A and B are shown apart, each in its own frame.
Chain A
Amino acid sequence: MSVLALLDRFRLPQHRLVSLLPLAALILLLPLLFPSAYYYRVAALIFIFAIAGLGLNLLMGFAGQVSLGHAGFMGVGAYAVAIGPSHLGIPPLLSFVLGALLSALVAFVVGRPILRLKGHYLAVATLGFGVLLAIVFTNEANWTGGPDGMTVPRLILFHWPLRGAETWYWILAASFLVGAALALNLIDSPTGRALRAIHDSEIAARVLGVDVAEKKLMIFIVSAVYASVAGSYLALINGYITPDVSGFLRSIELVAMVVLGGMGSVVGSLVGSAVLVILPQALTLFHDYEHLVLGLIVMGVMIFLRGGIVPSVAAALRGWRP
């Protein structure tokens, strides 16, 4: 919320999407600083995880429901664009959409029973769900290639095969901005207010007529679609997919991004993703101690910027204002 407050200050004539303008400008200008195609690729990866982070942030940061299995939905999206064209003869773009719909369906079926759980119980149930999907992707070797994974056919848009890090940069930047706009729309809507209300007091929300179970299920489905879209993009940009995409570590990484960037902050999803994508690349000079240093940095951020990076910085900026 504090980030929304910060975004509020950038609002010119109070339109909720004006806050995305500085972000869009940054995305436009950033490539001027890129010395090589490698940077486009890193930025593209950041956008992919930021899209998954946006969805998870709607679930965790706004509705207050944790999921430790969201990489499972990334896996559904990723394998949809891999299996659809190569095994079923479905065009890649259609597979992409069908993957998102399948994720929504899976979220609908799984969400009903497990969203009745709260707190740690919900965390463990979603964890189990994510592990289950990862096992399916590993074991159904005839379809998925098993632990070795499978190649993903290139996405062809109107006879134009998508290739090259630069092309993907623009596609993913646009997708992220669309995802962020949809998230901001939702936050300032009856559904969004109800979700944020549920986070603070379920009892009061129910007494005011909010169907808590239905709202939780809706946002679970929405966040699953975000993850699925991110998974599809990841598979397409890499051209290859292994069950790791849906693994437990990936789920934890997604949660870490949301918490690190800032719960309930749209911009925080991007910042959290940037930190967890860039840091491992930057820390390769530590060789064997890479993960140790990464862990220490993440711990340090959480200790000193408790609300996550973006909300903490926003609060500090507010404090400095005369």
Chain B
Amino acid sequence: MAAVTVLSAERLSISFGGVRALDGVSFDVASGIVFSIIGPNGAGKTTLFNLISGLSVPHDGHVRLCGKDVTALPPEQLARRGLSRTFQNLQIFSHLTAVENVMVGRHRHEVTGIVADLLHLPAVGRQNRRTRERAAAALARVGLEDVAEWPAGSLAYGDLKRLEIARALASEPTVLLLDEPAAGCNPVETREIEDIIRGIVDDDVTVVLVEHDMRLVMNVSDRIHVLANGRTLAEGAAAEVRMNPAVIEAYLGVRGTSEPALAVG
């Protein structure tokens, strides 16, 4: 199918103190797929996410979201244009309850005014109820409905991982960046994350995934982009990438192995 490109990176480059963290990385993400970015530690995956989500500005290159150049836009504006993300090291609002965390995810859909909010005008109450319903639904999607009213700071690690996904989903993004959603999760939790990702794609949200768990990556990805030392090493469907000699070498440091090195994580 000739799907539309929703997100593209064009020759993205950034240096930190003379070190080229990313060097001319380009790719196109088609609508409604899971696009994974993999690579050894230090390959530049999280740096790439930070550039795409506006947390840092590329020294060179462009980011396009739904055809529009969004390079160097601040994250809050990208959020309003339908880009959301989660974080490798969690960024939870720990003093808010679980459902309130997800309600903040609805922020871009809420009409706010400080005076209306202070006076709690009837419209604010109606909107609060609507937001809470939507947030509860997002929580239920990741299986956290039972802990909705708990302070987020008291939830278990695996629950927080899913809470971040629910929060990002609540903003109804076009493109969702998942930064190592399964890091630190046990096999059962990882399986749940896999199901959640499939559900997200079924709803026509495009997922860009950074993940170290190769089993998860191979299971859910439609396309895989491999980075090493800030450069593109390979890109293709899961089966192609798994057998690619350059990829195998980057991961194992040996040439000529015929084993599929990336079979398990």
A residues contacting B by CB (< 8 A) are 1, 16, 182, 185-186, 188-194, 196-197, 199-201, 203-212, 218, 221-222, 264
Contact = CB atoms under 8 A, between A and B. Distances in A.
B93 A190 contact: no
B103 A186 contact: no
A218 B113 CA distance: 10
Contacts of B110: 190
Given A193-B100, A204-B92, A209 B107 contact: yes
Most buried by B among A190, A205, A208, A222: A208
B69 to A, nearest CB: 19
B117 A205 contact: no
A218 B116 CA distance: 13
A207 B95 contact: no
Given A190-B111, A191-B113, A209-B80, 18 more contacts: A1-B95, A182-B118, A185-B120, A186-B114, A188-B120, A189-B117, A189-B118, A189-B128, A193-B104, A197-B104, A200-B94, A200-B96, A203-B75, A204-B93, A208-B108, A210-B104, A212-B76, A222-B114
B92 A186 contact: no
Nearest to B149: A8
B114 A194 contact: no
Would you list the 9 A-B pairs with minimal beta carbon distance, nearest first? Answer: A209-B79, A209-B108, A189-B117, A204-B91, A185-B120, A200-B93, A190-B112, A201-B91, A206-B75
A102 B112 CA distance: 24
Contacts of B84: 207-208
A192 B79 CA distance: 19
B151 A210 contact: no
20 contacts: A16-B120, A182-B119, A189-B112, A189-B118, A190-B107, A190-B110, A190-B127, A190-B131, A191-B112, A191-B114, A193-B96, A193-B104, A197-B104, A200-B92, A203-B55, A204-B92, A206-B74, A207-B55, A208-B105, A208-B108
B85 A207 contact: yes
B147 interface: no
Contact of A194 (B55, B104, B113): B104
B92 A193 contact: no
A321 B114 CA distance: 38
Contacts of B95: 1, 196, 199-200, 264
Contacts of B96: 1, 193, 196-197, 200
A185 to B, nearest CB: 4
Given A189-B112, A191-B114, A194-B104, A207 B151 contact: no
A194 B112 CA distance: 10
B171 interface: yes
A264 B151 CA distance: 15
Contact of A205 (B104, B111, B112): B104
A189 B131 CA distance: 10
Interface of B: 53, 55, 74-76, 78-80, 84-85, 87, 91-96, 100-101, 103-105, 107-108, 110-114, 116-120, 124, 127-128, 131, 151, 167-168, 171
Given A1-B95, A193-B100, A201-B92, A211 B120 contact: no
Contacts of B105: 208
B108 A189 contact: no
Nearest to B79: A209
B162 to A, nearest CB: 15
B107 A208 contact: yes
Contacts of A192: 117
A194 B107 contact: yes
A322 to B, nearest CB: 20
Contacts of B120: 16, 185, 188-189
Contacts of B108: 208-209
A196 B93 contact: yes
Nearest to A185: B120
Contacts of B94: 200
Nearest to A207: B75
Contact of B93 (A185, A186, A197): A197
B117 A191 contact: yes
A209 B128 CA distance: 17
A210 B167 CA distance: 13
Contacts of B78: 207
A293 B56 CA distance: 51
Contact of A204 (B87, B118, B151): B87
A185 B115 CA distance: 10
Nearest to B170: A208
A29 to B, nearest CB: 27
